[in-house]
Chain A
């Protein structure tokens, strides 16, 4: 530990602690309670602060930054409404295990509990949607709390953490000693020491059960019809290479969850596609017939398993996950291994006796479609045409963020993601309005890459205010609106299940998105045919250096559906739509 101690105020200590953690970009929005912090930020040009239009936008941006860079995202907000505006972003990060540190300030300690102006118990509000949350009322506790918060956000199963600092603690002074994250992790007398020594799941990696690895190697050896599921844990554990090697050595088809997108190459001949409610025929049929289902870093959400009673009914189910509380939560497993996916897969690879060949099984699985064949409709622009044009014209390594709805499913089905972090989507919480904020975070964290934001007219309307952020910070994000004049995904359910009673899902209303974009100072176009779309996309690629984003309003038919589809709680091979 360095012995250069200085007396600093809480705001300066907070910023020093962010610097300790290597933070160079934060997203946020100021206000009364957090004024001291912003005052210090004014002197620290080495930390880039991105001011959004709304705290929700900042929360998604910090999340998108974290998911696309693998670093911890940071988001600042003031007390009261500033902090409650974060909550959807906190929950979104929580459900998708994204490491974000949210820092809010609250009223002075002596006002707490008196319903002071803009006072709210934000740690209480976010208790169920954070990995951990902290109240700091004394400056002496600030530095170690920030260090602990970062350690917890990024370790074990990652997730959001919230620190609520009372205003007096941002003003009073105490001694500050710089401590690197590594030094902190090795420190004694801190809570991190106990967490580490007890292998607490919030920071530690449990000891891996080596017998279970042997058993799994045995199961793989015996299996003739294996199916791998690639979940979001493969992305978070940075275990994509190991997973790819395993799939090749098992010669096993691979189904990918929404959160697993990018961890397994989209153009691999072993890929069966998405699994679950909008899973491909190949994925869902393979799941139904496999004799070994090996799920890595997935939590068997109801959108994947549908009716859990019939899920992989002929298979031994094996679950690899870092979170013990995911084991046997939604699906009863035959074998589980708790721990870091990268370590487990490496141990497993060393135990595999021989490489397998499963030609008969693969022939069976791939006799079913792995991609949905959407029809070309003469004279209209179809989702498929839009996505094909984007895939062809934009660079191969384009980061894709999405909103929530049909457009999200189409994008995930269509694009051939190739690396972890390439697909950024709200899989667990299904947050409409996530996409633009996430794109801002992704573009801020990856200035050299192209960022494509795929959205729907409903979702875009929710948080399109962030176009001003995109414009101001010269983030050349390409927004593709799948404008079907509808809350399409809800409308699809109404079509299929509610006798076409389209209650409150028709969006026959403004604004003109192209004009709106122009008003915000970015490029805006409306397109109704694929030839124009291709020209616009080429122009967007060519004009990247001007730092201006694009909003391309693609008019598509409102009756287009996401296929295939299995109804909620049906059996996975029971398609209601092919």
Chain B
């Protein structure tokens, strides 16, 4: 992801949108990105306080002009309630990462647990030769954690994709 940012001179944008919670809205949304030539980096969805409304957090690489056009196109979808680009300085962005990693001996296990503690991760499963850890944070934090675990041998890794919200005004 980082490499892409440098190569294409594009910025990462966090789009937040709410849609009627009904069949087919996800495909409408996803289809619009692909047919207008955008690649979705992450997408995460869930109800809001109103179960009839689904809120999506979508992250893509783009530039200031193209992102405006994309938002205007999104706003035309009938099930859409609103579309916003989060200001990076005000956005709180989090994702959950689950990772199962080799831990064949005691030394490895201890070291992994120490790293997880630094990242405020928690061990959620343990077997004689593996550990499963969950960690929450923005993409940089989860990426850093992943990098540190690589040397132990990652067996499986899953991310939820970023969800984001704006900080309250003080």
Report A's interface with B, CB cutoff 8 A: 123-124, 127-128, 131-132, 135, 152, 191, 194-195, 198, 200-202, 323-325, 327-329, 332
Contacts and interface: CB of A to CB of B under 8 A. Distances in A.
Contacts of B69: 325, 327-329
Nearest to B70: A325
A275 B72 CA distance: 27
B143 interface: no
A27 B109 CA distance: 72
B31 A127 contact: yes
Interface in B1-50: 20, 23-24, 27-28, 31, 35
Which 5 pairs across A and B sit closest by C-beta, in order of nearness?
A325-B72, A324-B72, A132-B78, A325-B73, A201-B76
Interface string B82-96: 100000000000000
A327 B78 contact: no
B68 interface: yes
Contacts of B81: 194, 198
Contacts of A327: 69, 72
B24 A328 contact: no
Interface residues of B, number: 18
Contacts of A332: 65
28 contacts: A123-B24, A124-B27, A127-B27, A127-B31, A128-B31, A128-B35, A131-B76, A131-B78, A132-B78, A135-B24, A152-B78, A191-B20, A191-B78, A195-B78, A198-B81, A198-B82, A200-B75, A200-B78, A200-B80, A201-B75, A202-B78, A325-B69, A325-B73, A325-B76, A327-B69, A328-B68, A328-B69, A329-B69
Max count, chain A CB within 10 A of own CB: residue among B65, B75, B78, B81: B78
Interface in B90-149: none
Nearest to B20: A191
Max count, chain B CB within 10 A of own CB: residue among A123, A194, A195, A329: A329
Given A124-B27, A323-B72, 19 more contacts: A127-B28, A127-B31, A131-B78, A135-B24, A152-B78, A191-B20, A191-B78, A198-B81, A200-B75, A201-B75, A323-B76, A324-B75, A325-B73, A327-B69, A327-B72, A328-B65, A328-B68, A329-B69, A332-B65
A196 B81 CA distance: 11
A501 to B, nearest CB: 33
A163 to B, nearest CB: 13
Contacts of A325: 69, 72-73, 75-76
Contacts, number: 42
Contacts of B31: 127-128
A477 to B, nearest CB: 36
A323 B76 CA distance: 9
A408 to B, nearest CB: 27
A95 to B, nearest CB: 14
A418 B23 CA distance: 46
B65 to A, nearest CB: 6
A332 B72 CA distance: 15
A323 B69 CA distance: 11
Contact of A202 (B35, B65, B76): B76
A517 B151 CA distance: 79
A140 to B, nearest CB: 14
Contacts of A202: 76, 78
Contacts of A191: 20, 78
B84 to A, nearest CB: 13
Contacts of A200: 75, 78, 80
A127 B77 CA distance: 11
Nearest to A199: B75
Contacts of A198: 81-82
A201 B82 CA distance: 11
A219 B166 CA distance: 40
A135 B65 contact: no
B92 to A, nearest CB: 25
B72 to A, nearest CB: 4
Max count, chain B CB within 10 A of own CB: residue among A124, A194, A325, A327: A325
B35 to A, nearest CB: 5
Contact of A135 (B23, B35, B68, B78): B23
A135 B78 CA distance: 14
A455 B75 CA distance: 38
Contacts of B27: 124, 127
A328 B78 CA distance: 22
A127 B28 CA distance: 7
Nearest to B34: A128
A132 B72 CA distance: 16
Contacts of B20: 191
Contacts of B65: 328, 332
A325 B35 CA distance: 14
Nearest to A324: B72
A194 B72 CA distance: 18
Nearest to B31: A127
A332 B66 CA distance: 12
Max count, chain A CB within 10 A of own CB: residue among B27, B31, B76: B76
Contacts of B82: 198
Nearest to A338: B72
Contacts of A323: 72, 76
